């Protein structure tokens, strides 16, 4: 893994306008799905991104690749700002970055054969001159993801969920990318298949030198595959640290609550540990709370938390957090 960032995100925001009325539509506000995130990913690194449903993880991944137009900010991949390029330059840069979608059932065109699905990125990016060459490359990719190339002429409905996700991985690799957004790639799969897909992703990373943004709910799997972990809450970053540092020394109350919900295999240890139970629901991103966005559910919230946005700071070397309680030393 290189120390030089391959991917750099600077103050990226994605706001969705909300309208009301059937005939005369009026703008009634903005959903602040992502509200100013900044991070980098080194070449060959896997950055995990975690948080509850609705916190903005998928929106971050899709906005980074230009699937959603960013409201503001920049995303640099291998030296090129992917959000502000046009025409051929944009197509050239987008070849470097791909995505593996969450749902292997909805992300593959049911009317296309596997051969057509995997070959499409090669056709779009003009990687091979003939259909024969693209088909041969598709055969190689099928082998690479552990599927029989003789299945290329079949349709997605003829495959299991795990096999479909492997096809999605093969499609993502078809343009020879440097960076892949893994958008909860195992959450829709059986538990027995999840480990196989994660092992495949790790093997491909070692073999091809890939860089991942791994979005997930399963914190146990995140610890297994990721080098660093970024925690999001309601569209903003609350904590970022190396994997082992974050799991062994979480600083933000939200991170502690997430980790306290991870099952421990030993029942006695699981019963003995201290749990952090959050009350209430995640506030609406249409009208997020002032100050720290977590203060409405935080068990140690102070008056300052309701009024001032906490500063993003390095609490200990390479461990960043945005929390007034950490600044004041009140962490329990």
In this predicted structure, what is the pLDDT of residue 331? 57
- φ, ψ for residue 12, nearest 5 deg: -80, 130
Task: List the domain boundaries for the chain.
Answer: 5-96+177-328, 107-176
Enter the tokens of residue 200: 């495949």
Task: Determine contact, residues 107/185, Cβ cutoff 8 Å.
Answer: no
Average confidence (pLDDT) over 10-19: 92
- φ, ψ for residue 204, nearest 5 deg: -65, -35
For the residues of 131-145, what is the DSSP string, one character each? HHHHHHHHHHHHHHT
In this predicted structure, what is the pLDDT of residue 64? 93
In this predicted structure, what is the pLDDT of residue 33? 93
State yes or no: pLDDT of 87 exceeds 90: no
Give me the CATH code for the 5-96+177-328 domain, please.
Answer: 3.40.50.300
Query: Count of residues for the chain?
Result: 332
Report residue 144 CA to chain centroid gap.
Answer: 23
pTM (predicted TM-score): 0.91
Q: What percent of the chain has pLDDT over 70?
A: 92
Enter the tokens of residue 149: 């190339």
Task: Determine contact, residues 34/13, Cβ cutoff 8 Å.
Answer: yes
CA 174 to CA 195: how far, in whole Å? Answer: 23
């Amino acid at each position: 893994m290189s120390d030089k960032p391959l991917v750099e995100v600077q103050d990226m925001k994605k706001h969705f306008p909300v309208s009301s009325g059937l005939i005369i539509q009026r703008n009634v506000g903005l959903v602040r799905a992502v509200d100013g995130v900044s991070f980098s990913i080194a070449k060959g690194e896997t950055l995990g991104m975690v948080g509850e449903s609705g916190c903005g993880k998928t929106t971050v991944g899709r906005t980074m690749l230009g699937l959603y137009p960013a409201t503001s900010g920049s995303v640099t991949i291998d030296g090129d700002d992917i959000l502000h390029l046009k025409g051929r330059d944009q197509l050239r840069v987008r070849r470097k970055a791909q995505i593996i979608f969450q749902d292997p059932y909805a992300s593959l065109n049911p009317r296309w054969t596997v051969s057509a699905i995997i070959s499409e990125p090669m056709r779009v990016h003009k990687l091979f001159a003939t259909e024969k060459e693209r088909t041969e490359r598709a055969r190689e990719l099928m082998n690479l993801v552990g599927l029989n190339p003789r299945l290329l002429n079949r349709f997605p409905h003829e495959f299991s969920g795990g096999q479909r996700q492997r096809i999605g991985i093969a499609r993502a690799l078809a343009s020879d990318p440097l960076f892949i957004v893994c958008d909860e790639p195992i959450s829709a799969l059986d538990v027995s298949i999840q480990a196989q897909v994660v092992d495949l992703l790790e093997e491909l990373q070692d073999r091809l030198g890939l860089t991942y943004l791994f979005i997930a709910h399963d914190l146990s799997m995140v610890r297994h595959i990721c080098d660093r972990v970024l925690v999001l809450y309601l569209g903003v970053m609350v904590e970022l640290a190396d994997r082992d540092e974050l799991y062994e020394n979480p600083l933000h109350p939200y991170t502690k609550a997430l980790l306290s919900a991870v099952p421990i295999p030993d029942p006695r240890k699981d019963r003995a540990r201290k749990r952090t139970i959050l009350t209430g629901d995640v506030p609406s991103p249409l009208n997020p709370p002032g100050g720290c966005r977590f203060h409405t559910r935080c068990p140690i919230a102070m008056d300052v938390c309701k009024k001032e946005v906490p500063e993003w700071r390095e609490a200990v070397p390479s461990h960043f957090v945005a929390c007034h309680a950490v600044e004041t030393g009140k962490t329990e």
